[in-house]
A = this chain, B = another copy of it.
Amino acid sequence: MNILLTSVGRRGYIVDYFKQASEDAKIHVCNSVFTVAFRKADFSFIAPKIYENDYIDCLVDYCKIHKIDAIMSLFDIDLVVLGSSEKRFEEIGVNLIHAPLKTLKICNDKWLTYKFSQEINIATPKTYISMEDALKEIESKRVYYPLIIKPRFGMGSIGLYTVNNREELHVLYNKCKNEVFNSYLKYESTDFKEESVLIQEFKKSKEYGLDIINDLNGKYVTVIPKEKVEMRSGETDLGLTVDNARFIDLAKKISQATKHKGIMSVDILADETGTLNLLEMNCRISGHYPVAHCAGVNYPKQLIEWLDKEDTNLENFKYKRDVYVTKELLPVVWE
Protein backbone atom coordinates (compact mmCIF):
# COMPACT_ATOMS: atom_id res chain seq x y z
CA MET A 1 0.00 0.00 0.00
CA ASN A 2 1.15 3.53 -0.82
CA ILE A 3 0.09 6.55 1.26
CA LEU A 4 0.94 10.12 0.31
CA LEU A 5 1.16 12.79 3.02
CA THR A 6 0.99 16.33 1.59
CA SER A 7 2.09 19.63 3.22
CA VAL A 8 3.97 17.71 5.87
CA GLY A 9 5.78 20.70 7.41
CA ARG A 10 8.07 19.79 10.25
CA ARG A 11 5.84 17.07 11.66
CA GLY A 12 8.34 14.34 10.90
CA TYR A 13 6.91 12.31 13.77
CA ILE A 14 3.77 11.59 11.70
CA VAL A 15 5.95 9.79 9.17
CA ASP A 16 7.53 7.81 12.02
CA TYR A 17 4.10 6.84 13.32
CA PHE A 18 3.00 5.54 9.91
CA LYS A 19 6.21 3.61 9.35
CA GLN A 20 5.97 2.01 12.80
CA ALA A 21 2.32 1.09 12.13
CA SER A 22 2.97 -1.10 9.12
CA GLU A 23 5.89 -2.79 7.42
CA ASP A 24 3.98 -3.09 4.16
CA ALA A 25 2.78 0.48 3.74
CA LYS A 26 5.13 2.79 1.87
CA ILE A 27 4.99 6.41 2.96
CA HIS A 28 5.41 9.18 0.41
CA VAL A 29 5.58 12.87 1.38
CA CYS A 30 5.55 16.15 -0.50
CA ASN A 31 5.81 19.85 0.24
CA SER A 32 6.84 22.97 -1.63
CA VAL A 33 10.00 23.21 0.52
CA PHE A 34 12.39 20.68 2.05
CA THR A 35 11.29 19.42 5.45
CA VAL A 36 12.54 17.02 8.09
CA ALA A 37 9.82 14.58 7.06
CA PHE A 38 11.48 14.18 3.65
CA ARG A 39 14.30 11.98 4.83
CA LYS A 40 12.08 9.89 7.08
CA ALA A 41 9.66 8.94 4.33
CA ASP A 42 10.19 6.06 1.92
CA PHE A 43 9.77 8.46 -1.00
CA SER A 44 9.54 12.24 -1.18
CA PHE A 45 9.25 15.03 -3.73
CA ILE A 46 8.91 18.79 -4.04
CA ALA A 47 5.40 19.69 -5.22
CA PRO A 48 4.30 23.00 -6.76
CA LYS A 49 2.84 25.44 -4.25
CA ILE A 50 -0.78 24.62 -3.45
CA TYR A 51 -2.02 27.86 -5.06
CA GLU A 52 -0.32 27.12 -8.34
CA ASN A 53 -2.28 25.75 -11.28
CA ASP A 54 -0.14 22.68 -11.74
CA TYR A 55 -0.36 21.49 -8.13
CA ILE A 56 -3.22 19.05 -8.69
CA ASP A 57 -1.88 17.90 -12.08
CA CYS A 58 1.44 17.11 -10.45
CA LEU A 59 -0.20 15.11 -7.64
CA VAL A 60 -2.47 13.21 -10.02
CA ASP A 61 0.54 12.25 -12.17
CA TYR A 62 2.51 11.21 -9.10
CA CYS A 63 -0.39 9.10 -7.80
CA LYS A 64 -0.73 7.29 -11.12
CA ILE A 65 2.98 6.54 -11.46
CA HIS A 66 3.46 5.47 -7.84
CA LYS A 67 0.12 3.68 -7.40
CA ILE A 68 -0.92 5.84 -4.44
CA ASP A 69 -3.90 4.42 -2.49
CA ALA A 70 -4.67 7.36 -0.24
CA ILE A 71 -3.74 11.01 0.34
CA MET A 72 -3.74 12.65 3.73
CA SER A 73 -2.96 16.37 3.99
CA LEU A 74 -1.62 18.13 7.08
CA PHE A 75 -2.50 21.70 6.08
CA ASP A 76 -5.94 23.32 6.10
CA ILE A 77 -5.85 25.27 2.86
CA ASP A 78 -4.39 22.27 1.06
CA LEU A 79 -7.42 20.24 2.20
CA VAL A 80 -9.79 22.57 0.35
CA VAL A 81 -7.59 22.63 -2.75
CA LEU A 82 -7.52 18.80 -2.78
CA GLY A 83 -11.21 18.52 -1.92
CA SER A 84 -12.15 20.76 -4.86
CA SER A 85 -10.56 18.19 -7.19
CA GLU A 86 -11.80 15.11 -5.39
CA LYS A 87 -13.29 13.59 -8.56
CA ARG A 88 -9.93 13.58 -10.33
CA PHE A 89 -8.49 11.52 -7.49
CA GLU A 90 -11.53 9.23 -7.28
CA GLU A 91 -11.20 8.47 -10.98
CA ILE A 92 -7.72 7.06 -10.46
CA GLY A 93 -8.69 5.16 -7.30
CA VAL A 94 -7.10 7.50 -4.75
CA ASN A 95 -8.90 7.89 -1.42
CA LEU A 96 -8.74 11.44 0.00
CA ILE A 97 -8.76 11.06 3.79
CA HIS A 98 -10.64 14.16 4.84
CA ALA A 99 -14.28 15.27 4.51
CA PRO A 100 -16.99 16.45 2.11
CA LEU A 101 -16.03 19.79 0.53
CA LYS A 102 -18.85 21.51 2.43
CA THR A 103 -17.28 20.43 5.73
CA LEU A 104 -13.79 21.49 4.63
CA LYS A 105 -15.13 24.96 3.86
CA ILE A 106 -16.86 25.20 7.25
CA CYS A 107 -13.57 24.28 8.95
CA ASN A 108 -11.55 26.95 7.12
CA ASP A 109 -14.09 29.76 7.54
CA LYS A 110 -14.45 30.70 11.22
CA TRP A 111 -17.71 32.51 10.50
CA LEU A 112 -19.19 29.35 8.99
CA THR A 113 -17.83 27.41 11.98
CA TYR A 114 -19.77 29.75 14.26
CA LYS A 115 -22.96 29.34 12.20
CA PHE A 116 -22.42 25.58 12.13
CA SER A 117 -22.22 25.43 15.94
CA GLN A 118 -25.51 27.28 16.20
CA GLU A 119 -27.20 25.07 13.63
CA ILE A 120 -26.29 21.85 15.41
CA ASN A 121 -26.99 23.45 18.77
CA ILE A 122 -23.52 23.37 20.30
CA ALA A 123 -22.31 26.22 22.54
CA THR A 124 -19.77 28.58 20.94
CA PRO A 125 -18.31 31.98 21.87
CA LYS A 126 -20.48 34.92 20.67
CA THR A 127 -19.11 36.07 17.33
CA TYR A 128 -19.78 39.14 15.14
CA ILE A 129 -18.85 39.73 11.54
CA SER A 130 -19.74 43.43 11.58
CA MET A 131 -18.43 46.16 13.82
CA GLU A 132 -21.98 47.58 14.07
CA ASP A 133 -23.40 44.37 15.50
CA ALA A 134 -20.52 44.05 17.95
CA LEU A 135 -20.91 47.65 19.16
CA LYS A 136 -24.67 47.22 19.60
CA GLU A 137 -24.14 44.10 21.71
CA ILE A 138 -21.43 45.80 23.81
CA GLU A 139 -23.70 48.78 24.47
CA SER A 140 -26.60 46.61 25.51
CA LYS A 141 -24.26 44.60 27.76
CA ARG A 142 -24.79 41.28 26.08
CA VAL A 143 -21.05 40.94 25.57
CA TYR A 144 -18.08 42.43 27.46
CA TYR A 145 -14.42 43.30 26.96
CA PRO A 146 -11.90 41.76 26.52
CA LEU A 147 -12.86 40.66 23.02
CA ILE A 148 -10.85 38.75 20.42
CA ILE A 149 -10.16 40.12 16.94
CA LYS A 150 -9.30 37.42 14.42
CA PRO A 151 -9.21 36.89 10.67
CA ARG A 152 -12.23 34.99 9.38
CA PHE A 153 -9.88 32.78 7.33
CA GLY A 154 -7.08 32.71 9.85
CA MET A 155 -4.14 30.56 10.75
CA GLY A 156 -1.35 30.86 13.29
CA SER A 157 -1.18 34.25 14.99
CA ILE A 158 -1.60 36.54 11.96
CA GLY A 159 -3.98 39.38 12.87
CA LEU A 160 -4.96 37.87 16.22
CA TYR A 161 -5.51 40.43 18.99
CA THR A 162 -7.15 40.79 22.37
CA VAL A 163 -8.88 44.15 22.78
CA ASN A 164 -9.82 45.75 26.07
CA ASN A 165 -11.70 48.89 25.08
CA ARG A 166 -13.42 50.68 22.23
CA GLU A 167 -10.29 52.46 21.01
CA GLU A 168 -8.35 49.18 20.75
CA LEU A 169 -11.35 47.53 19.09
CA HIS A 170 -11.44 50.06 16.24
CA VAL A 171 -7.70 50.30 15.68
CA LEU A 172 -7.00 46.58 15.85
CA TYR A 173 -10.01 45.68 13.73
CA ASN A 174 -8.54 47.79 10.92
CA LYS A 175 -5.03 46.50 11.59
CA CYS A 176 -6.24 42.90 11.40
CA LYS A 177 -7.92 43.60 8.06
CA ASN A 178 -4.73 45.17 6.69
CA GLU A 179 -2.70 42.21 7.85
CA VAL A 180 -5.06 39.75 6.20
CA PHE A 181 -4.67 41.50 2.84
CA ASN A 182 -0.89 41.77 3.23
CA SER A 183 -0.41 38.06 3.94
CA TYR A 184 -1.21 34.74 2.27
CA LEU A 185 -4.58 34.87 4.00
CA LYS A 186 -5.68 37.28 1.24
CA TYR A 187 -6.33 34.37 -1.15
CA GLU A 188 -9.32 33.10 0.79
CA SER A 189 -10.50 36.52 2.01
CA THR A 190 -10.61 38.16 -1.39
CA ASP A 191 -14.36 37.56 -1.90
CA PHE A 192 -15.18 38.90 1.57
CA LYS A 193 -13.44 42.28 1.73
CA GLU A 194 -15.87 43.79 4.25
CA GLU A 195 -16.46 40.55 6.09
CA SER A 196 -12.93 39.27 6.56
CA VAL A 197 -12.51 39.99 10.28
CA LEU A 198 -14.38 38.53 13.27
CA ILE A 199 -15.00 40.00 16.71
CA GLN A 200 -15.38 37.24 19.26
CA GLU A 201 -16.23 36.86 22.91
CA PHE A 202 -13.22 35.92 25.07
CA LYS A 203 -13.78 32.96 27.37
CA LYS A 204 -11.34 32.44 30.19
CA SER A 205 -11.29 28.71 30.40
CA LYS A 206 -9.59 25.38 30.08
CA GLU A 207 -8.87 24.42 26.50
CA TYR A 208 -9.18 20.90 25.11
CA GLY A 209 -8.12 19.37 21.83
CA LEU A 210 -10.37 16.54 20.64
CA ASP A 211 -9.65 13.94 18.01
CA ILE A 212 -13.10 12.93 16.79
CA ILE A 213 -12.70 9.67 14.87
CA ASN A 214 -15.01 8.57 12.05
CA ASP A 215 -14.41 5.54 9.88
CA LEU A 216 -13.81 5.95 6.14
CA ASN A 217 -17.58 5.90 5.55
CA GLY A 218 -17.98 8.92 7.84
CA LYS A 219 -19.48 6.88 10.70
CA TYR A 220 -18.68 7.84 14.30
CA VAL A 221 -16.14 5.66 16.10
CA THR A 222 -14.82 7.46 19.17
CA VAL A 223 -13.38 10.65 20.63
CA ILE A 224 -10.00 11.21 22.34
CA PRO A 225 -9.82 14.42 24.40
CA LYS A 226 -6.64 16.08 25.61
CA GLU A 227 -6.32 19.01 27.95
CA LYS A 228 -3.97 21.65 26.57
CA VAL A 229 -1.76 22.37 29.57
CA GLU A 230 0.31 25.53 29.40
CA MET A 231 3.73 25.74 31.01
CA ARG A 232 5.06 28.67 33.00
CA SER A 233 7.95 29.43 30.69
CA GLY A 234 5.78 29.76 27.62
CA GLU A 235 8.20 27.45 25.88
CA THR A 236 6.99 24.00 26.80
CA ASP A 237 4.05 22.53 24.95
CA LEU A 238 2.30 20.10 27.24
CA GLY A 239 -0.83 18.00 26.73
CA LEU A 240 -2.68 15.65 29.05
CA THR A 241 -5.05 12.83 28.12
CA VAL A 242 -8.37 12.94 29.97
CA ASP A 243 -11.43 10.71 30.14
CA ASN A 244 -13.77 11.05 27.18
CA ALA A 245 -17.17 10.52 28.86
CA ARG A 246 -18.17 14.19 29.01
CA PHE A 247 -17.16 14.78 25.36
CA ILE A 248 -19.04 11.92 23.66
CA ASP A 249 -22.37 13.67 23.01
CA LEU A 250 -20.65 16.69 21.52
CA ALA A 251 -18.35 14.51 19.43
CA LYS A 252 -21.24 12.47 18.02
CA LYS A 253 -23.14 15.61 17.05
CA ILE A 254 -20.11 16.97 15.21
CA SER A 255 -19.29 13.64 13.62
CA GLN A 256 -22.79 13.23 12.24
CA ALA A 257 -22.93 16.77 10.89
CA THR A 258 -19.48 16.80 9.27
CA LYS A 259 -19.36 13.23 7.93
CA HIS A 260 -15.58 13.49 7.83
CA LYS A 261 -13.27 10.51 7.30
CA GLY A 262 -10.63 9.70 9.90
CA ILE A 263 -9.63 12.42 12.33
CA MET A 264 -11.42 15.70 12.87
CA SER A 265 -9.38 17.85 15.30
CA VAL A 266 -11.57 20.13 17.37
CA ASP A 267 -10.64 22.89 19.83
CA ILE A 268 -12.98 23.26 22.78
CA LEU A 269 -13.17 25.87 25.53
CA ALA A 270 -14.73 24.71 28.78
CA ASP A 271 -15.97 27.89 30.43
CA GLU A 272 -16.42 28.55 34.16
CA THR A 273 -19.82 26.87 34.17
CA GLY A 274 -18.32 23.74 32.58
CA THR A 275 -20.08 24.30 29.27
CA LEU A 276 -18.12 22.99 26.28
CA ASN A 277 -17.77 25.67 23.58
CA LEU A 278 -16.73 24.78 20.05
CA LEU A 279 -13.94 27.10 18.95
CA GLU A 280 -12.33 25.59 15.87
CA MET A 281 -12.38 22.47 13.68
CA ASN A 282 -9.69 21.07 11.38
CA CYS A 283 -10.18 18.04 9.22
CA ARG A 284 -6.67 16.65 9.77
CA ILE A 285 -4.14 15.40 12.30
CA SER A 286 -3.21 18.42 14.41
CA GLY A 287 -0.44 19.33 16.83
CA HIS A 288 -2.19 17.59 19.73
CA TYR A 289 -2.53 14.16 18.08
CA PRO A 290 0.90 13.03 19.40
CA VAL A 291 -0.48 13.29 22.94
CA ALA A 292 -3.07 10.64 22.06
CA HIS A 293 -0.52 8.54 20.19
CA CYS A 294 1.97 8.54 23.05
CA ALA A 295 -0.86 7.44 25.37
CA GLY A 296 -1.66 4.37 23.26
CA VAL A 297 -3.82 5.48 20.32
CA ASN A 298 -2.67 4.21 16.92
CA TYR A 299 -4.63 6.04 14.25
CA PRO A 300 -2.12 5.36 11.44
CA LYS A 301 -2.49 1.61 12.08
CA GLN A 302 -6.30 1.83 11.95
CA LEU A 303 -6.18 3.97 8.82
CA ILE A 304 -4.01 1.39 7.06
CA GLU A 305 -6.39 -1.39 8.21
CA TRP A 306 -9.38 0.55 6.91
CA LEU A 307 -7.66 1.06 3.56
CA ASP A 308 -7.10 -2.74 3.59
CA LYS A 309 -10.90 -3.11 3.96
CA GLU A 310 -10.66 -4.33 7.54
CA ASP A 311 -13.23 -3.39 10.19
CA THR A 312 -12.71 -0.86 12.93
CA ASN A 313 -10.58 -2.28 15.73
CA LEU A 314 -11.33 -0.36 18.91
CA GLU A 315 -8.02 -1.57 20.36
CA ASN A 316 -6.39 1.03 18.09
CA PHE A 317 -8.14 3.78 20.04
CA LYS A 318 -7.49 2.57 23.59
CA TYR A 319 -5.49 5.10 25.58
CA LYS A 320 -4.25 5.68 29.09
CA ARG A 321 -5.80 8.59 31.00
CA ASP A 322 -3.64 11.20 32.78
CA VAL A 323 -0.65 10.85 30.46
CA TYR A 324 1.37 14.06 30.04
CA VAL A 325 3.11 14.49 26.68
CA THR A 326 5.53 17.25 25.75
CA LYS A 327 7.50 18.02 22.60
CA GLU A 328 11.25 18.10 22.63
CA LEU A 329 13.23 20.19 20.13
CA LEU A 330 15.81 18.17 18.24
CA PRO A 331 18.30 20.09 16.06
CA VAL A 332 19.13 18.27 12.83
CA VAL A 333 21.37 19.05 9.89
CA TRP A 334 19.77 19.38 6.52
CA GLU A 335 21.63 17.17 4.13
> A23 interface residue, CB < 8 Å from B?
no
Q: Whole-angstrom distance from the CB of A180 to the nearest CB of chain B? A: 14
Q: Whole-angstrom distance from the CB of A300 to the nearest CB of chain B? A: 14
Are B331 and A294 in contact, with the CB atoms below 8 A? Answer: yes
Q: Whole-angstrom distance from the CB of A96 to the nearest CB of chain B? A: 21
Q: Which of A115-123, A133-141, A227-235 participates in binding chain B? A: A227-235
Q: Taking chain A's interface residues, is the majority helix, strand, or loop, or is none over half, making it mixed? A: mixed
> A156 interface residue, CB < 8 Å from B?
yes
Q: Mark A256-290, 1 if CB is under 8 A from B, else 0.
A: 00000000000000000000000000000000001
Chain B: which residue is nearest A331 at the CB level? B290
Are A13 and B175 in contact, with the CB atoms below 8 A? Answer: no
> A168 interface residue, CB < 8 Å from B?
yes
Are A13 and B331 in contact, with the CB atoms below 8 A? Answer: yes
Q: Note all chain B residues with C-beta closer than 8 A to A156.
A: 234
Q: Taking A168-B175, A233-B9 as contacts, is the C-beta distance between A323 and B333 under 8 angstroms?
A: yes
Distance between Cα atoms of A222 and B109 in the complex (Å): 51
Are B328 and A291 in contact, with the CB atoms below 8 A? Answer: no
Distance between Cα atoms of A4 and B290 in the complex (Å): 31
Are A333 and B327 in contact, with the CB atoms below 8 A? Answer: no
Distance between Cα atoms of A10 and B326 in the complex (Å): 9
Within 8 Å by CB of A326, from B232, B328, B331, lies B331
Are A330 and B328 in contact, with the CB atoms below 8 A? Answer: yes
Are A326 and B36 in contact, with the CB atoms below 8 A? Answer: yes
Q: Taking A33-B232, A233-B33, A236-B35 as contacts, is the C-beta distance between A329 and B11 under 8 angstroms?
A: yes
Within 8 Å by CB of A164, from B13, B32, B175, lies B175
Q: Note all chain B residues with C-beta closer than 8 A to A232.
A: 32-33
Q: Note all chain B residues with C-beta closer than 8 A to A164.
A: 175, 178
Distance between Cα atoms of A294 and B260 in the complex (Å): 42
Q: Whole-angstrom distance from the CB of A50 to the nearest CB of chain B? A: 11
Within 8 Å by CB of A325, from B35, B233, B327, B331, lies B331
Are A236 and B13 in contact, with the CB atoms below 8 A? Answer: no
Enumerate 20 A-B pairs (CB-CB under 8 Å) in ascending A order: A10-B236, A10-B328, A13-B331, A32-B232, A33-B231, A33-B236, A36-B236, A75-B233, A156-B234, A290-B331, A291-B331, A294-B331, A295-B333, A323-B333, A324-B333, A325-B332, A325-B334, A326-B331, A327-B329, A329-B329
Given contacts A10-B328, A13-B329, A294-B332, 15 further A-B contacts (CB under 8 A): A7-B233, A9-B233, A9-B235, A10-B235, A10-B237, A13-B330, A33-B232, A36-B326, A171-B172, A238-B334, A294-B331, A324-B333, A324-B334, A327-B330, A328-B330
Enumerate chain A interface residues (CB-CB to B < 8 A).
7, 9-13, 32-33, 35-36, 75, 156, 164, 167-168, 171-172, 175, 178, 231-238, 290-291, 293-295, 323-334
A-B pairs, 7 with minimum CB distance: A290-B331, A324-B334, A171-B171, A328-B330, A36-B328, A294-B333, A327-B329
